Amino acid sequence: MAVEYDTGRGTHTGILAAVEAAPPVESVDVVARELRRRFGALSVSFLITDLSRQSVVRLSTAGETGAGEAVESISLFGSVYGDVIRTQRIRLADSVDGDGGQRVIAPVTNRGDSIGLLEVRVPAGPDRRTLREISRAAHTLAYIVIANRRFTDLYQWGRRTAPLSLAAEIQHNLLPSSLSCEAAQFAVAGALEPAGNVGGDTFDYAVERDTLHLSVTDAMGHEVNAALLATLLLGALRGARRAGCDLAEQARRAHQAMLDHSGGAMATGLLLRVCLRDGRVTLVNAGHPWPLRLRDGKVEEIELRINLPFGVPSERPHQVQEAELRPGDRLVILTDGMLDRRSRALDLPALITNTAGLHPREASQALTMAVLDANLGRLKDDATVMCLDWYGPEPVRRDAHTGADLTQASPASFPFRPPSQV
C-alpha cells in the first residue's frame, strides 16, 4: 500500500548548478549523484512517459550498466506509478527487491505537463525533510529535462516504446512540445491517437499575456501526404499567429497556403482565441465538427456556422464567430476520427460527463482510449481531442510548488482500462 505525503516548497539550486557543468546527456545522472550524496539513496531512476502516455520507461543512470538506456517499460494502469502521475503527489512504497529500503516516487512535472517520475530508493523510514527534498529535486528535474532535450535525442528516444513510421515522426513533431498546460485561468491538454495509417490530425496551443490560442486541424488523406499537408497548414497558422495576426487573418493565410501549395487537397480546422480577461471566445470553423461544452453537468454542442475547409476555392472569407465560457466550463474540441462509424456507438456526451472529475490531462486521454476500445484497437482515422477547463478570468493562486496544481489533479483511480486489456 502506497502512503501519501505532503511536500514543501523551494528550489534545488545546487542541482541546477551541477547540471549546468555536465553534458546534456548526463543531466539525470547528476541528479542521481546528488541524491545519493545527500540522502544515501540506494538507487535513483528517471521514468519518462512514453508517447501514448499509457506507460513510463525507466532510463538507467550513472552507476548502472548502459547509462542512458531504457531498462524497462511499465504500464501506468493499476500501478503506483499511475497513481502518482494522476494525483501529482509524492508516494512512499515498499522496495521491490526486499533489501529493506523504500521507494519514494515523485512526479516530474512542469505547469501541469507530466514529463515522468523520479524514483529514489532510500533506507527505510525517510523523514519529511528527505521527502520534501526529493520532491524539490523532481520538480527541478522537470526543468532540466525541458532545457536539455533541445540538445540530445535521449529523452525522445526514451519515450518510443515502438518504432515510428516516417508519417508518425512528422506528425509527432508537429504537436506542441508540452501536451498540457496549467495557468491561473485555465488548464488545457490534448491527446492524439493515430490511425494505423496516420491521418493528418494536429492540435496546437499558445499562451500570450491576455490570450489563449487553440487549434485542431485534420488534413485529408493518410500517411506521409497527410503529414506533409498538416505541416503546411500548421506552419501557416503558427506563422500568422506569431506575426500578431487576428483570427480572420490567421484563417486567410492558412487557406491561401493550402490553395497555393497543397495540390488541390483540403483540411478542416477549428481555430479559437480565448480572452483571458473575460472568457470571451472567438472561433473560425473550417468544415470541422462542432466543439462540445460541459456546463453544470450538461454537455451541449456549440452550434457554429460552418465554412468550407481550408483549400477549397471560395470567394467568401472564413467567418469569425463568438462564444463565451463561464467559470467551471469544460470545452472539448475533437476531430471526426472521434465520430466515425464504430465510435458513434459510444455516448460521447456521457463520457465527457463521466470524466468531468479528471484533469484535462487524463480526461483527453480517457476519451481517445474509449474510442480506441470501440474500434477494437484499430482506428481508420486519427482520433484527436483537446480539453480546456476554464476557471475564470480572475487570477487565483495556484498550489503548484511541485509543478502541478494539486487542487485540480485527478483522483488515483482511472475510469478506463488500457485497450490491450479489453
Sign of dihedral through CA atoms 13, 18, 20, 25?
negative
Q: Is the pLDDT of residue 205 over 70?
A: yes
d(CA 83, CA 383): 25
If one compares 39 and 259, the residue with the highest pLDDT of the two is: 259
Q: Domain 166-391, CATH 3.40.50.300 — does that match?
A: no
Per-position DSSP letters for 251-281, written without gaps between them: HHHHHHHHHHHSTT--EEEEEEEEETTT-EE
Q: Over 50: is that where the pLDDT of 6 sits?
A: no
What value, to the nearest 5°, has the Cα angle with vertex 99 and ends 94 and 103?
30
pLDDT of 367 reads 95
Rounded-to-integer distance, Cα 204 and Cα 221, Å: 20
Binning pLDDT at 50, 70 and 90, where does residue 31 land? Answer: confident
* Average pLDDT of the residues in 213-229: 96
What pLDDT does residue 397 have?
64
Closest of 304, 163, 175 to residue 227, by C-alpha: 175
308-337, pLDDT tens digit by residue? 999 999 989 999 999 999 999 999 999 999
Comparing 52-56, 227-231, 294-298, 316-320, which segment has the lowest mean pLDDT? Answer: 52-56
Question: What's CA 128's distance to the chain center, in Å?
Answer: 31
Q: Is a pLDDT exceeding 50 seen at residue 5?
A: no
Give the pLDDT confidence score for residue 30 in this predicted structure.
Answer: 87
- The owner of cell 501506468 is 76
Is the Cβ–Cβ distance between 258 and 308 less than 8 Å? no
- Summarize the confidence of residues 44-66 as an average pLDDT: 78
Which of 404, 392, 322, 321 lies closest to 362, judged by CA? 404
pLDDT at 66: 42
Domain with CATH 3.30.450.40 in the chain: 3-158
The DSSP element (H or E) to which 182 belongs, if any, is strand 180-182
- Cα–Cα distance list, 331 to 102, 194, 213, 287, 353 (Å): 41, 22, 13, 18, 12
Q: Where in the sequence of the chain do the CATH 3.60.40.10 domains occur?
A: 166-391
List pLDDT tens digits, range 100-126.
689 999 999 999 999 999 999 998 788
Average pLDDT, integer, range 364-381: 90
Question: What distance in Å separates the CA atoms of residue 4 and residue 405, rounded to the nearest whole number?
Answer: 16
Q: How far, in Å, CA of 301 to CA of 247, rounded?
A: 21
Q: Quick one: pLDDT band at residue 368, thresholds 50, 70, 90?
A: very high
Q: C-alpha grid cell for residue 298?
A: 450538461
pLDDT at 395: 62
Does residue 67 register a pLDDT over 90? no
**CATH among 3.50.30.30, 3.90.550.10, 3.90.110.10, 3.30.450.40 for 3-158:** 3.30.450.40
CA 89 – CA 185 distance, rounded (Å): 22
Least confident of 241-255, 319-333, 363-377: 363-377
pLDDT of residue 69: 54
**Residue 411: pLDDT above 70?**
yes
Q: What pLDDT sits at residue 60?
A: 62
Residue 3 confidence class, pLDDT cut points 50, 70, 90:
very low
Chain mean pLDDT for the chain: 88
Across the range 212-239, mean pLDDT stands at 97
Which pLDDT tens digit goes with each residue over 250-293?
A: 999 999 999 999 999 999 999 999 999 999 999 999 999 999 99
